[in-house]
């Protein structure tokens, strides 16, 4: 699928992609949807290793972001001011992701963060936030690893 060939309605508030096998980063295209509140990128929706949400005015209304079964995702970057209303972030799994974008720390509305199968390096960084009484409800799954 070539995402740039599709015209999404500008009033779209929810979008879920699954088995689309997008080869280019979908975020630059999707961040242009001004009313998008929930975005779910599921199994085989995107097959590359990098995601970038670099526009300072990107995803202005986004509250929910689920990245599910993006098995090879290793790098995620964000621009300052992106996703200012994000409340819930779920990464399942995040086995290759070594760090989350630092810009997430600036999002005051973010209160739920769920990570499945995180790298020990990522887990350790987030544990430091928990120890500082960080405002996130951080959950690791499975909890015993």
What pLDDT is recorded for position 145?
A: 47
**Interatomic CA distance for residues 110 and 88, integer angstroms:** 6
**Token pair listed for 6:** 């599709």
Strand-pairing partners, residue 39, are: 15, 65
Question: Is the pTM of the predicted complex or chain greater than 0.85?
Answer: yes
**Interatomic CA distance for residues 109 and 107, integer angstroms:** 6
Domains delineated in the chain: 7-141 (3.80.10.10)
Contact 83, 109 (CB under 8 A): no
Residues in the chain: 145
What pLDDT is recorded for position 22?
A: 86
pLDDT over threshold 60, residue 133: no
pLDDT over threshold 80, residue 141: no
């Amino acid at each position: 699928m070539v995402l740039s060939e599709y015209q999404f309605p500008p009033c779209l508030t929810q979008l879920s992609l699954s088995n689309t096998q997008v080869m280019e980063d979908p975020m630059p295209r999707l961040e242009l949807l001004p009313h998008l509140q929930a975005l779910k990128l599921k199994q085989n929706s995107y097959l590359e290793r990098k995601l970038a949400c670099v526009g300072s005015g990107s995803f202005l209304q986004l509250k929910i972001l689920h990245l599910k079964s993006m098995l090879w995702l290793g790098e995620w970057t964000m621009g300052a001011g992106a996703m200012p209303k994000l409340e819930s972030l779920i990464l399942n799994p995040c086995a290759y992701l070594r760090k989350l974008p630092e810009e997430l720390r600036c999002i005051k509305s973010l209160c739920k963060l769920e990570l499945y199968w995180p790298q020990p390096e990522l887990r350790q960084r987030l544990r430091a936030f928990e120890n500082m009484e960080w405002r996130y409800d951080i959950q690791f799954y499975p909890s015993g690893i």
